[in-house]
Amino acid sequence: MNPTVSATPPGKPRLTTSAMIASIATEGQRTKPAPFGHALVELARNRADVIGMTADLGKYTDLHIFAAAFPDRYYQMGMAEQLLFGAASGLAAEGFTPFATTYAVFASRRAYDFIHQTIAEEDRNVKIVCALPGLTSGYGPSHQATEDLALFRAMPNMTVIDPCDAHEIEQVVPAVAARQGPVYVRLLRGQVPVVLDEYGYKFEVGKAALIRDGSDVLIISTGLMTMRALEAAKKLVGDRVDTAVLHVPTIKPLDAEAILREAGKPGRLVVVAENHTVIGGLGEAIAGLLMRSGVHPAFRQIALPDEFLAAGALPTLHDRYGISTAAISDRIKTSL
């Protein structure tokens, strides 16, 4: 049967499908516009070495905010990601601190060797900030960066950060600028939810944070999955399931101490949740850590499947692939 207009049940609004960029904010959620762009402008006021670079995706990575504020410190490199990162290495070699932006698929897949050889191997001070991490685009595999954490985790010298919300992104920008060396940051752009301010959360590179405590389940999550985990934890209260959430924004270097401390507490199911393929991301990083450390809790991974994902509307896809709030709470209930 062809998917035609008549396939939509009457009275049910059609979801916008296959959008390249879709907001991950849920209805009524507090948001902030372009937190990365505004935070970079703030940083650059006191840091003359900070420059912005992009490969024809300034508007789509919120770098246009910086470009408007500091036009003479902004480099449009054209739709050429290999050049973007090679040139960023050259500018870093001359003492500048480039924030180079594109989509996560292009940095992790097309330009990998350039980042590996000209930035990571030479330990250049380049901040790679990439939109559309994991499954945050309805465009299909061309724009869904489901392997980026695995790829950048495997790269020596690289720090890897997956922020949760606007509150965190605002803190990540000055924090990575203060850290010498290459950093890969997953970026939520546009209208970005604000969640973690309610918990008095403060970001620190390499530090995990227990956002809420609970006695039945420990969700260890990163990126936008932490806001989903917090929503799921609230839902699970109604099912008499007491859920802790440990937020791990820095995938590398991993906060082994905090993870072992929390995962080692007896009697809790440990669930690692990430917006990334089940292979090579936070889940397998933690599994390896626990195995090496002799800590063996009941363990589940909530992650994207090892397959090329479909095009479609994000809510549909997040449900289908198990990373929506409802899918998380259902998975936990069936695992207990």
Partner 1 sequence: METAPTIANAPTLAQRAHNIRRNALRMGEVQGQGYIAQALDIADVLAVAYFHAMHYRPEEPSWYGRDRFLLSNGHYAIALYAALIEAGVIPEAELGTYGSDESRLPMSGMASYTPGMEMSGGSLGLGMSIAVGMALGLKRKNSSARVYTLFSDGELDEGSVWEAIMSAAHHKLDNLIAIVDVNNQQADGPSTEMMAFEPLVDKLNAFGWFVQRVDGNDLDAVVAAFDAAKSHGQAKPRIIVADTLMGKGVPFLEQREKNHFIRVEPHEWQLALGALEAGKQS
What's the rounded Cα separation, in Å, for the pair 129 and 186?
Answer: 6
**Cβ at position 38, least distance to partner 1 in Å:** 24
Q: Pattern of binders to partner 1 over 12-51, x per CB under 8 A?
A: ---------------------------------------x
Asked if 77 is part of the footprint of partner 1 (rule: CB under 8 A), the reply reads: yes
> Which residue from 21, 83, 260, 269 is in contact with partner 1, where contact means CB under 8 A?
83
> Which residue from 36, 60, 75, 299 is in contact with partner 1, where contact means CB under 8 A?
75
Q: Near partner 1 by CB under 8 A, which window of 120-128, 243-251, 255-263, 292-300?
A: 120-128
> Which residue from 3, 71, 95, 156 is in contact with partner 1, where contact means CB under 8 A?
95
Asked if 86 is part of the footprint of partner 1 (rule: CB under 8 A), the reply reads: yes
Residue number with CB closer to partner 1 (113 or 307):
113
Residue number with CB closer to partner 1 (93 or 178):
93
**Cβ at position 97, least distance to partner 1 in Å:** 11
> Which residue from 66, 85, 103, 201 is in contact with partner 1, where contact means CB under 8 A?
85
Q: Near partner 1 by CB under 8 A, which window of 92-100, 138-146, 236-244, 328-336?
A: 92-100
Asked if 325 is part of the footprint of partner 1 (rule: CB under 8 A), the reply reads: no
Asked if 80 is part of the footprint of partner 1 (rule: CB under 8 A), the reply reads: yes
Q: Which residues bind partner 1 (CB under 8 A)?
A: 51, 75, 77-78, 80, 82-83, 85-96, 98, 113-114, 117-118, 121-123
